[in-house]
Amino acid sequence: MRFVPDHDLHIHTKLSPCSNDPRQIPEAILAYGVTAGLKLLALADHCWPATQIPVLRASEPLPQSKRCHMIFGAEVDMDMNDQLSAPISDIEALDFAVIALNHLHLKNYCVPNDFPEDALTHKERFKERLHHLLSLDLPFYKTGIAHFSDGLVCTADPIRCIDLFSDAELIDIFQKIRDRGMGVELNLVPGRYSAGDLDSVLRPLRVAKSLGCKFYMGGDAHHPDDFAGTLTRKMNPLIDLLGLEESDKLPFIPETIARLEAEK
């Protein structure tokens, strides 16, 4: 059975500094979920020094509908010293955590201000951060690795940065992600890429699928206008390009939907 696009676990509200859009409130996000026929939504505002998880909880209590459930999450970062942007106790208290390790454009936070611009240095730093994350004691079953192939990993040369990962390196990383039960985020717009570049950014996801990793959808909307393309431009094309089946879905999703349905 084809992977059913019934959720979106990476959505920002106005509390994310890169959104700061007064229209992007939980009620508008819930309306998107209901209209799109989704069953589960997760808020995932940036957890940064000025927006720690207690600050982000200003969105609660979350609105709900009979057809669509909303849970509280956050997008957790990692600083230049490999410290997560939230204490593990705060991450454990989240319903879901999106963990972003490739925000290497954030100088003076994720990398030093004088961090080199070349693709190889960025690729090696991203790899180090991935392995450090996977060595931690986290509730991985309710976490996901955000936008693995995103261009922010190396704004100067993003495609080469991903191409520099050998198949063996990707296999090592995604075997660990699989074994820890962590989700892999679907968060790309295939239509933005040339055929060659699309093969490059899809290669890590194809390796993940071949190893039995589990996937979740992350639309990453920052503004209400972003919702229109989540299913048509991101999710459905990715599901088809990767040949994803319902069995490839992160178990957290159907389990959470079933639990929330039973609690009605």
Q: What is the mean pLDDT of residues 71-80?
A: 98
Within-domain flag for 244? yes
Domain CATH for 112: 3.20.20.140
Nearest by Cα to 70 from 100, 113, 109, 40: 40
Write the DSSP string, 66-130: SS-EEEEEEEE-B-TTS-BSS-HHHHHHSSEEEE----TT-BTTTB-TT----HHHHHHHHHHHH
Q: What is the amino acid identity at position 125?
A: R
Within-domain flag for 126? yes
| 117-144 confidence digits (pLDDT tens) | 999 999 999 999 999 999 999 999 999 9
Give SS3 for 14: coil
- Residue 75, phi then psi, degrees to nearest 5: -100, 105
Within-domain flag for 2? no
Within-domain flag for 40? yes
Instruction: For residue 88, give its domain range.
Output: 7-262
> Which percentage of the chain shows pLDDT scores above 90?
98
Structural domain count, the chain: 1
Q: What is the mean pLDDT of residues 206-217?
A: 98
Within-domain flag for 220? yes
| 61-71 confidence digits (pLDDT tens) | 999 999 999 99
